[in-house]
Amino acid sequence: MYKMLNFLFNQVHCDSAITNQLSFQDPATPVMEGIIDLHHDIFFFLIIILCLVSWVMTRICISYNSSSNPKPHTFKHHTMLEIVWTILPALVLVTIVGPSFTLLYAMDEVIDPAITIKAVGHQWYWSYEYCDYDLEGNNVLNFDSYIVPEEDLEIGQLRLLEVDNRVVLPINTHIRVITTSTDVIHSWAVPSLGTKTDAVPGRLNQMSLYIRREGVYYGQCSEICGVNHGFMPIVVEAVSLDDYIDWISTKLSE
């Protein structure tokens, strides 16, 4: 459905939160596409269950009240009914468990990453290290990423979501993101990429990314980490491989 809507509206993707938003942001990775598809599949079962339960409750209210049924029945059990409402939910769960486990394993799998970056949470900003590019003195390419204050925003930039240094990554490339923290627990989350991984002090967590299209993707820390929790956004800029190589060359020359 989202692909059809994007085609009809000239491929304008929703990669950041909008006012009164109810649905997901447009996916940019296979994992996020799987999350949305699984949500829609489960919602289909929820609608059927809602209709069935509503029908049963309505039937009970109409048929079993003092006016329409002054003399109530005296039975206490119905074996077949109990068997049915035990087996049906079990069948629904069995139907859901297959795609759920497949998606969980896909989210946890790291497939021979070509690029590894490290996201370090601080109170209250992010630091990034590109671990594949060593500089002189054995220092990796790294930089800090702070929120852009509201008075410094330019036209087109998003309030509370824009940063001074974006994370630049190539598309159609297997990427590993390692997260950790220097103080409290943070969470590196970007909805359009389908990622949400905790950054825990003294521990390394990892996730995989495979971005399919170019764009700018916005996220925020999703762990309540202190008074400025809402002011440490994440911005990932996905570019072509050639543009990524040019960006890396410029950073290394600096």
What are 191-239's pLDDT values in tens digits? 999 999 999 999 999 999 999 999 999 999 999 988 999 899 999 999 9
Which of these ranges, 54-58, 134-138, 196-200, 244-248, has the smallest mean pLDDT? 134-138
How confident is the model at residue 216, as a pLDDT? Answer: 92
pLDDT at 177: 94
Query: For the segment 149-195, what is each residue's pLDDT rounded down to a tens digit?
Result: 988 888 888 888 999 999 999 999 999 999 999 999 999 999 999 99
The pTM (predicted TM-score) of the whole model is 0.80
Whether residue 15 is predicted with pLDDT greater than 50 in this model: the reply is yes
Percent of the chain with pLDDT over 70: 91
Cβ burial, residue 44 (10 Å; 0-12/13-18/19+): exposed
Tell me, what's the pLDDT at 174?
Answer: 92
pLDDT in tens, 38-94: 999 899 889 998 999 999 899 888 877 777 777 777 767 778 888 888 898 898 888
Determine the Cα–Cα distance for residues 63 and 241; give it in Å rounded to an integer: 67
**Residue range 99-128: average pLDDT?**
89
Confidence class for position 4, pLDDT limits 50, 70, 90: very low
Has residue 10 got a pLDDT over 50?
no
* Domain assignments of the chain as residue spans, ordered by start: 30-66+78-108, 115-253
Whether the predicted pLDDT of 148 surpasses 60: yes
How sure is the predictor about 2, in pLDDT bands with cuts at 50, 70 and 90? very low
Domain 115-253: state its class.
Answer: mainly beta
More confident site: 132 or 199? 199
